[in-house]
Amino acid sequence: MATIPTHHQPSNPPSPDRSEPRYTPPRPLAPASWAGVKPIPLLICVTVGLIFRFAVPKPAQVSKQAWQLFAIFLTTIAGLILSPLPVGAWAFICLTVTVITKTLPFAAAFSAFTNEVIWLIVASFFFSRGFVKTGLGDRIAMYFVRWLGKSTLGLSYGLALGEAVICPAMPSSTARAGGIFLPIIKSLSSSADSEPKDASARKLGAYLIQSQLQSACSSSGLFLTAAAQNLLCVKLAEALGVEVKVQWVTWFKAASLPALISLLATPLILYKIFPPETKSTPDAPIMAARKLESMGPVKRNEWVMVGTMLITITLWVSGETLGVASVVAAMLGLSILLLLGVLDWDDCLSEKSAWDTLAWFGVLVGMAAQLTALGITAHVGALYSAFLSMHLASKVPGLLAALALGYNTNLFGALTHYSSGQAAVYYGGLSPSSRFDWYDENSVEYIVLSKKARSDPHLDAHLSLLCAAYLWKGEMNDKALSRPIYGLGHGCEG
């Protein structure tokens, strides 16, 4: 009789290491953070445009097209302030809206991208990269530290004068701060045991940063090509009928004495009202000498950079006499740097700030120009044009108003940590644990306003305005500025 086979049952249970792995359900994925537009700033910006388009009565003499463009322009300005997207992206979207809504034809919408001033600004950003890449900016700054850096006050003068020498050919205060001077100041402060994260910041670092930040405002206003906004101000002034002849020389004549006096007085005044604990810095010149020794002799690319900048600045100064436009001089200088290998095209492509500036400056200037052509002066949305228009309506001499306002755009860059590019760089260069409130009276960091020595955030502006009020007494017109002594006249008009 056949037996039914049975499966063998093991007497011992399987060992744990041979058992099948237990099923573990996957953890739920964390929701991805939203990388698109910020909803609340977007809503505010769009609301501003819609209100002006549909709720504010349109003046009878203004066409529907002009009023609609004005509403888009205000939306663009609101976005540049509130940043629902990066400024370049927001400007491009607003430009796209003008084309989709048939407010402007494509050619008119993009007409400003052939503007000479905008391309001059773009080329100038590439020059800034050349200073950083070749190390020429560091070398110049270290020379001044070695010459003047035996005391804290001398060190601050060395850094301030170093920036004044570099700035005519390096028209980005942000690049100067982040690429050259902030690393130098942090190195000098660390060598003096002055760190941003504790009370030792008051030894040296807080004073040096505050002095450099305040002095940079004067450096940026001293030369037309020392800051990108200077070039834009001249362009906006021309759009309102104020012609600035021999632009580089005229700007320098008007700004030189107020800027130089402010530049020379600022470190000393800060030294009195916001004194550093360390008064002597004998190691600074030694450190600078070691740095220069490690850099070696001036290299070929640095000499090429020096020669190219001298050629470019000479053409900027005398270009109108020679018939060479400023943008052509900048293009020539950039071409030399590319041909001789100081810069390559990848350097230009990676200079994101230049292309970003091209995008939003082009859109802003283009819309303003189209509004002017349609009969609306875009002064409500652009502060420089707003104040210049008010000055002109009040019979203030046009050249005086244009240059004074243009110069003042540089003077308030130290008010807050977001009021200028270099202020943001100096603030952002601190470690996250030491980013206290810029105006906190009890904080001790590189940027500090203390109870014992309250640094005046308006210091640079106060000094410059006091000097300018005396020096710019006559009508500042082309005839006055052609005189050798800064256009001083008899009496004060406007």
> Over the stretch 314-360, which tens digit does the pLDDT of each residue have?
888 887 788 888 889 989 999 999 999 999 999 999 988 888 888 88
pLDDT tops 60 at residue 95? yes
Least confident of 7-16, 76-85, 146-155: 7-16
Q: For residue 372, is it within any domain?
A: no
Same domain, 259 and 315: yes
Same domain, 66 and 129: no
- Name beta bridge partners: 280: 151
Same domain, 156 and 242: yes
Q: Which one has a higher pLDDT value, 437 or 319?
A: 319
Least confident of 130-134, 396-400, 418-422, 444-448: 444-448
Same domain, 156 and 182: yes
Q: What is the mean pLDDT of the chain?
A: 78
Q: For residue 338, is it within any domain?
A: yes
Q: Are 397 and 242 in contact (CB under 8 A)?
A: no
Supply the pLDDT for residue 19. Answer: 54
Among residues 84, 109, 134, the one where a domain terminates is 109
Q: For residue 291, is it within any domain?
A: yes
* Helix (H/G/I), strand (E/B), else coil: 151: strand
Look at residues 149, 185, 182, 181 and name the one whose alpha carbon lies nearest to residue 165. 181
**In whole angstroms, how far apart are CA 256 and each of 141, 158, 482?**
21, 19, 15
pLDDT tens digits, one per residue of 163-218:
998 888 887 787 888 878 888 888 888 878 887 666 777 788 888 888 888 899 88
Token couple for 144: 């001044």
pLDDT above 90 as % of the chain: 23
Look at residues 240, 138, 129 and name the one whose alpha carbon lies nearest to residue 185. 138
Same domain, 164 and 267: yes
Q: Are 38 and 83 in contact (CB under 8 A)?
A: yes
For residues 378-387, average pLDDT: 59
Token couple for 426: 């100096």
Supply the pLDDT for residue 459. Answer: 58
Supply the pLDDT for residue 455. Answer: 43
Q: For residue 17, is it within any domain?
A: no
Same domain, 186 and 101: no
Q: Which long-range contacts (CB under 8 A, 24 or more apart) does 135-140 make?
A: 135/295, 135/299, 135/302, 136/302, 136/305, 136/306, 137/166, 137/170, 137/176, 137/179, 137/180, 138/180, 138/184, 138/291, 138/295, 139/292, 139/295, 139/298, 139/302, 140/165, 140/166
Number of folded domains that form the chain: 2
Q: For residue 54, is it within any domain?
A: yes
Q: Are 343 and 133 in contact (CB under 8 A)?
A: yes
Same domain, 386 and 428: yes
Cα 288 to Cα 139: distance, rounded to the nearest angstrom:
9
Q: Where are the alpha helices (DSSP H) in 83-180?
A: 87-100, 106-109, 116-134, 136-148, 152-166, 173-176
Domain of 65 in residue numbering reads as 39-109
| Residue written as token pair 């910041």 | 201
Same domain, 69 and 125: no
Supply the pLDDT for residue 426. Answer: 72
Among residues 58, 81, 109, the one where a domain terminates is 109
Same domain, 416 and 464: yes
Q: Where are the alpha helices (DSSP H) in 167-204?
A: 173-176, 182-191
Q: Are 148 and 154 in contact (CB under 8 A)?
A: yes
Q: For residue 493, is it within any domain?
A: no
Cα 84 to Cα 343: distance, rounded to the nearest angstrom:
34
Same domain, 455 and 308: yes
Q: For residue 491, is it within any domain?
A: no
User: CA neighbours within 13 Å on the CB side: how many for 83?
Assistant: 3
User: CA neighbours within 13 Å on the CB side: how many for 24?
Assistant: 4
Residue 326: Cβ-neighbour burial (10 angstroms; 0-12, 13-18, 19+): buried
pLDDT tops 50 at residue 452? no
**Which residues lie below 8 Å from residue 79, measured CB to CB, with a gap of 6+?**
41, 45, 85, 87, 90, 91, 94
Is the full-model pTM beyond 0.85? Answer: no
Same domain, 338 and 280: yes
Same domain, 95 and 162: no
Cα 329 to Cα 327: distance, rounded to the nearest angstrom:
5
Q: For residue 121, is it within any domain?
A: yes
Supply the pLDDT for residue 197. Answer: 61
Among residues 90, 109, 128, the one where a domain terminates is 109
pLDDT tops 80 at residue 430? no
